[in-house]
A and B are shown apart, each in its own frame.
Chain A
Amino acid sequence: DGGITQSPKYLFRKEGQNVTLSCEQNLNHDAMYWYRQDPGQGLRLIYYSQIVNDFQKGDIAEGYSVSREKKESFPLTVTSAQKNPTAFYLCASSARRAGEGGNNEQFFGPGTRLTVL
């Protein structure tokens, strides 16, 4: 099956600890994205990557870090500097680079619900 996987589905951490969320895709997509969603709100872009070894800050990058060492993987680290880390985190990928014309359909993973105690 082709798709995007995120693990784990639920994650609990103590305040002050860094935590890394996994995102893997086997769709051979160039671009990958991380979003955050708070209750009753839309998605907000944290980071995105259009190509391996390159990534860009989104609208709410503070307190987060990413890496893109492999095309299929885009892990997100929530650091202790993130003031309100409890949220639903969604990873997505798309076939075309974010800046090209045409369909930029993004395929989303099932999400990871992070709770910081």
Chain B
Amino acid sequence: DAKTTQPTSMDCAEGRAANLPCNHSTISGNEYVYWYRQIHSQGPQYIIHGLKNNETNEMASLIITEDRKSSTLILPHATLRDTAVYYCIVRRPYNQGGKLIFGQGTELSVKP
């Protein structure tokens, strides 16, 4: 399985962009990068996913390096409600069931 490495914790000022890095140096060519977040004692929430190209939706942007060995999740204008644990996940390929493997995640604290 492709593993992911994320910083344990990060701080961000309210209103500023939050840039959350993730390393996935062993990712396979057909594996997707997914981001979820989990607010304390709730179920995780899907944010965004990508394969090769950069992606953007109403919640965030995902920047994937050309070699696909790392990615960055960008929350353009962080709010206090964005305080959560953010999980970077590499989805297993087709013949392994495509399951999501959650790591430890990054605990993002957005401060006023």
Which A residues fall within an 8 A CB radius of B? 4, 33, 35, 41-45, 48, 50, 56, 58, 88, 90, 92, 97-101, 103-111, 113
Contact = CB atoms under 8 A, between A and B. Distances in A.
B56 to A, nearest CB: 15
Interface of B: 30, 32, 34, 36, 41-46, 49, 87, 91, 94-105
A104 B91 contact: yes
B98 A100 contact: yes
Nearest to B46: A105
A92 B99 contact: no
A101 B49 contact: no
Contacts of B94: 99-101
A5 to B, nearest CB: 11
Interface of B is mostly: loop
A108 B43 contact: yes
Closest 6 A-B residue pairs measured CB to CB? Answer: A108-B43, A42-B102, A43-B102, A98-B98, A105-B46, A98-B97
Contacts of B97: 48, 50, 56, 98-99
Nearest to A59: B101
Nearest to A35: B102
A108 B36 CA distance: 11
Given A41-B104, A100-B94, A103-B49, A48 B44 contact: no
Contact of A105 (B41, B49, B87, B101): B49
Nearest to B1: A59
Contacts of B104: 41-42
A41 B44 CA distance: 13
Given A41-B104, A42-B104, A88-B41, A107 B98 contact: no
Contacts of A108: 43-45
A90 B98 contact: no
B95 A99 contact: yes
A111 B41 contact: yes
Contacts of B101: 45
